[in-house]
Amino acid sequence: MSQNVRVRFAPSPTGPLHIGGVRTALFNYLYAKKHGGTFILRIEDTDQNRYVAGAEDYIKNSLDWCNIPYDEGPGISSSKEIGQYGPYRQSERKDKYFAYAKALIDSGNAYYAFDTSQDLDAHRKDHEANGKTFIYNWHNRLKLENSLVLSEEETKARIDAGGDYVIRFKSPQDEVLKMYDEIRGNIEIDTNILDDKVLFKSDGMPTYHLANIVDDHLMEITHVIRGEEWLPSLALHILLYRSLEWEAPKFAHLPLILKPVGKGKLSKRDGDKMGFPVFPLEWKDPKTNEISAGYKEDGYFSEAVVNMLAFLGWNPGTEQELFSLEELIAAFNLNKVNKAGAKFDPEKTKWFQQQYMQSKDEETITTQFIDYLKTKDVSPQDDYVRHIVSLIKERAVFVEDLWTLGNYFFTAPTSYDEKAAKKAWKEDTSDIMSEVKLVLQNVTNFTTVEAQTALKGWIVDKGLGFGKVMQPLRLSLVGAMQGPDVFDIATSIGQEETLNRIQKAIDTL
């Protein structure tokens, strides 16, 4: 096995990549980069019946968006010959697997089985009728149709006849298997409860278990970092390594990502129900044309999503919560990954987004906001947009929030908040605002300071309460009681537009 750290992310192209899968990829990437190693993408597409067109590209695009690119994988080979480690799609490696299945048969660690699905179903029902659970292993393998009970000649004849068969692993009997997980520590399991899992099918394709082990060995994977759902397979995988006389990699099983409310794993249904994405990018189902939301399209920064995912099951042991990718690499340690499941918190995700929104430089936000304004058929000067961003950015979580917070900087209000109007606009307000209009009209140099000095001086001279003037002025300019300093609003939209909006409010309210 390679002495250099080599890890792999091995998704199946059966649909969109769930954020749980993204987190698995992220933790593999962080571990590899922390130790100067190699991060590999391997597409596990042995189950062609579940293959979904476009899913592989979706996986690659998701990793690219999250800025966690693979060093080796489809389209990217290592510096060594691709024949040593590639190809990186299991469907392109299918000629490699039978030899290892045959080696397991030859060593007595596997056998051919000819049982039909109907036969196995009958055995299950018979066991259930007697209050038992059917397990295909040492309990009953000698009572079933396989090469352990058939003669060598009959076994060969059945295979040559082209009938259906599988190759099953022969789980050991009466052994306490001792294993070690980098996150969970020592694990023991009684091999008597293990199934004789299918490793190879007569269609020439291996099952996940055999292909996974063979590929990890041939690709010299040193650490298998994967989700907790694979923990029940650990015993079989350790036994396969032992039976093939290979050195096993180190294993680390990541905790589940749990629902925000209730029990169980986070699912797409949770996101649909509570209004948040569970996929990194938007996904359109090629069969149903159903569109599922993605974090990117919902306006999240990839850095915020990555930072959020890092904290689902991992804790640096400090008070720091905001980490750049480089800081995550430096701080990451498998010893600080939790065993317990990590509850997903949509509000915490928004918190991370807001922190990154505020930390972004105004030039970046301005560029993105200009793109957004084009969808509203609004095309102001870049300098103007940059100025508006500086006034309202601190209140925004997403770039599109800038429109919600400041659309009045670009278009005059077409209506007025009913509750605010009732509070701010009294019987004498129209007369007062007519005078305000004259005061502002006479400001020669229409800057925030000049406009504020003139109007506040007039208010004092008239003996009016500031609220009696400033509230209806804000309502006139904005249409609601929101926004930054009202004089910043007025001088931003300009003197003429300010006067026009005041007059419109007088005529309307």
What are the CA-CA distances from residue 405 to residues 388, 391, 392 (Å)? Answer: 10, 10, 7
Residues (pLDDT < 70) of the chain are 1-2, 77-83
Q: Which residue type, as a one-letter code, is found at position 242? A: R
Cβ distance 168 to 240 under 8 Å?
A: no
Strand partners, 224: 251
- Measure the CA–CA gap between 52 and 17, rounded to whole angstroms: 12
Task: Match 């004849």 to its residue by tokens.
Answer: 157
Which of 105, 312, 103, 127 has its CA nearest to residue 214? 103
Q: What is the pLDDT of residue 77?
A: 65
For residue 137, give the H/E element and its range.
none
Q: What is the pLDDT of residue 1?
A: 47
DSSP letter string, 140-165? TGGGSSBTTTS-HHHHHHHHHTT---
Determine whether 252 is exposed, middle or buried from the number of CB atoms within 10 Å of its CB (0-12, 13-18, 19+). Answer: buried
Q: Cβ neighbours of residue 216 under 8 Å, at least 6 residues apart?
A: 8, 224, 249
Q: Can you give the three-state secondary structure of 97-113, one letter per residue?
A: CHHHHHHHHHCCCEEEE
> Per the residue annotation, which of 268, 343, 360, 423 is the catalytic one?
268
Tokens of 479: 């249409």
Number of Cβ atoms within 10 Å of the Cβ of 66 = 25
Cβ distance 260 to 343 under 8 Å?
A: yes
Determine whether 415 is exposed, middle or buried from the number of CB atoms within 10 Å of its CB (0-12, 13-18, 19+). Answer: exposed
Tokens of 120: 């196995």
Strands 198-201 and 223-227: unpaired
Which of 62, 84, 66 has its CA nearest to residue 6? 84
Cβ distance 475 to 446 under 8 Å?
A: no
Count how many residues are written for the chain. 509
Strand partners, 206: 200
Strands 185-190 and 198-201: unpaired
Q: What is the pLDDT of residue 317?
A: 92
List the end-to-end C-alpha distance of the chain, in Å, as a whole number: 79
- Measure the CA–CA gap between 308 and 344, rounded to whole angstroms: 9
**pTM of structure:** 0.91
Q: What is the DSSP letter of 468?
A: H
- Is residue 350 flagged as an active site residue? no
Q: Cβ neighbours of residue 226 under 8 Å, at least 6 residues apart?
A: 10, 24, 251, 252, 253, 254
Phi, psi torsion values for 416, nearest 5 degrees: -130, 135
Q: What is the pLDDT of residues 399-429, one digit of tens each?
A: 999 999 999 999 999 999 999 999 999 999 9
Tokens of 184: 């969970």
